């Protein structure tokens, strides 16, 4: 019998209207969205369900919105099915959803923390000074060498998200990212796509945000994880609150080792990944890492109903 991992998406997966179907159909799900509103002191759920998109994609709204949606789908799934994961993992912001799933963080604490994380990330670098870009087709080592060369000239650019073979996101100063885009073919890149983001996330330019987040996390109650949480910063399992705190602080300015995390899970015998939240971004990445695994996206009431029909309870 293979093992199961629950996985949770990060920024970029958001969509206006996400989670609305379960909030309308299920009172307990509706109550979860209302708990997020209460925790933050503003109407987050209305922003999630109705938009506008321009507001929802502001990072300090996106982060609590995605976490709330992921946990709402997870909780409804849990009420219907006695399926326990062997591991949990999340992509960047999704790591906080994974921590809620593993019982490390309380839901309302997590909502408040990721809202603050979004604010700190937004404030860390003045608008227009940072950038991110997706690089398709380049080798990791060749791209890393190029980043080091360009950064040595005074315009930092770093590997931010190692998503799957042939898909790496770079982040840093606007000038550094532009220089890398110009020279990316040297690393074997086929295409470079500039991302619409408000800052150079997962680069060393985010260190001011890490420092502020450390203060928030210091005062946060955390429990031991009920199942190992595979951390973005080292693609290894964590269960102890002290180590988790350190990893979360480092995560803001470090590479998201998603491909490595999935590879580690595969090596532990995981053959089923269940993604909770908006869209199916992680399902796509996981399939590019290993086509043979089962990946299920629980991102709608329809998907929840289908799971019940296709899978023995």
Domains delineated in the chain: 3-124+205-310 (3.40.366.10), 130-197 (3.30.70.250)
pLDDT recorded at residue 127:
86
Q: Any idea what DSSP says for residue 81?
A: -
Local structure of 137: helix, strand or coil: coil
Sheet holding 270-276, edge to edge: 237-238, 229-230, 87-90, 3-8, 270-276, 294-298
The catalytic residue among 45, 92, 173, 261 is 92
The answer to whether residue 202 is catalytic is yes
pLDDT at 310: 57
Concerning whether 29 is annotated as a catalytic residue, the answer is no
The terminus-to-terminus CA distance of the chain in angstroms comes to 15
- Rounded to whole angstroms, the Cα distance separating 288 from 109 reads 34
Q: Could you count the other beta carbons within 10 Å of the beta carbon of residue 51?
A: 14
Q: Which two tokens stand for residue 86?
A: 């062997």
The predicted structure's pLDDT at residue 309 = 72
Short-list 133, 198, 128, CA closest to 161: 133
- pLDDT, residue 313, reads 40
* Residue partners of 148: CB distance under 8 A and separation at least 6: none
- The catalytic residue among 202, 203, 255, 297 is 202
Q: What is the token pair recorded at 273?
A: 């990944």
What does the pLDDT read at residue 120? 97
Give the integer Cα–Cα distance in Å for 46 and 40. Answer: 13
| CA distances for 77 relative to 25, 53, 82, 109, angstroms | 13, 27, 9, 22
In this prediction, residue 198 carries a pLDDT of 82
Q: What is the pLDDT of residue 175?
A: 97
Ranges of the chain whose pLDDT falls below 70? 310-313
Packing angle, helices 207-218 and 107-124, rounded to 10: 150
Q: Residue 108: exposed, middle, or buried by beta-carbon count in 10 A (0-12, 13-18, 19+)?
A: middle
Q: Locate tokens 């759920």: which residue?
A: 45
């Amino acid at each position: 019998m293979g093992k199961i991992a629950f996985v949770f998406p990060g920024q970029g997966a958001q969509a206006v209207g996400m989670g609305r179907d379960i909030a309308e159909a299920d009172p307990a799900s509706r109550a979860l969205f209302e708990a997020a509103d209460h925790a933050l002191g503003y109407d987050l759920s209305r922003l999630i369900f109705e938009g506008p998109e321009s507001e929802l994609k502001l990072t300090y709204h996106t982060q609590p919105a995605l976490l709330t949606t992921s946990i709402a789908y997870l909780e409804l799934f849990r009420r219907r099915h006695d399926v326990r994961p062997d591991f949990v993992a999340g992509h960047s912001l999704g790591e906080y959803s994974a921590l809620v799933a593993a019982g490390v963080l309380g839901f309302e604490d997590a909502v408040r923390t990721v809202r603050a994380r979004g604010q700190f990330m937004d404030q860390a670098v003045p608008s227009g000074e940072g950038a991110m870009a997706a690089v398709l087709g380049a080798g990791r080592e060749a791209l890393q060498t190029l980043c080091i060369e360009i950064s040595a000239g005074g315009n930092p650019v770093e590997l931010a998200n190692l998503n799957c073979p042939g898909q790496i996101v770079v982040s840093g100063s606007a000038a550094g990212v532009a220089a890398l885009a110009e020279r990316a073919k040297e690393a074997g890149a086929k295409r470079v796509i500039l991302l619409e983001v408000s800052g150079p996330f997962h680069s060393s330019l985010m260190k001011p945000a890490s420092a502020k987040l450390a203060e928030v996390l210091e005062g946060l109650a955390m429990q031991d994880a009920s199942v190992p949480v595979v951390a973005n910063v080292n693609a290894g399992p964590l269960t102890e609150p002290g180590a988790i705190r350190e990893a979360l602080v480092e995560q803001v300015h470090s590479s998201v080792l998603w491909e490595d995390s999935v590879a580690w899970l595969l090596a532990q015998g995981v053959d089923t990944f269940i993604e909770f939240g908006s869209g199916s971004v992680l399902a796509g990445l996981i399939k590019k890492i290993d086509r043979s695994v089962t990946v299920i996206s629980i991102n709608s009431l329809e998907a929840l109903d289908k799971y019940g029909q296709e899978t023995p309870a």
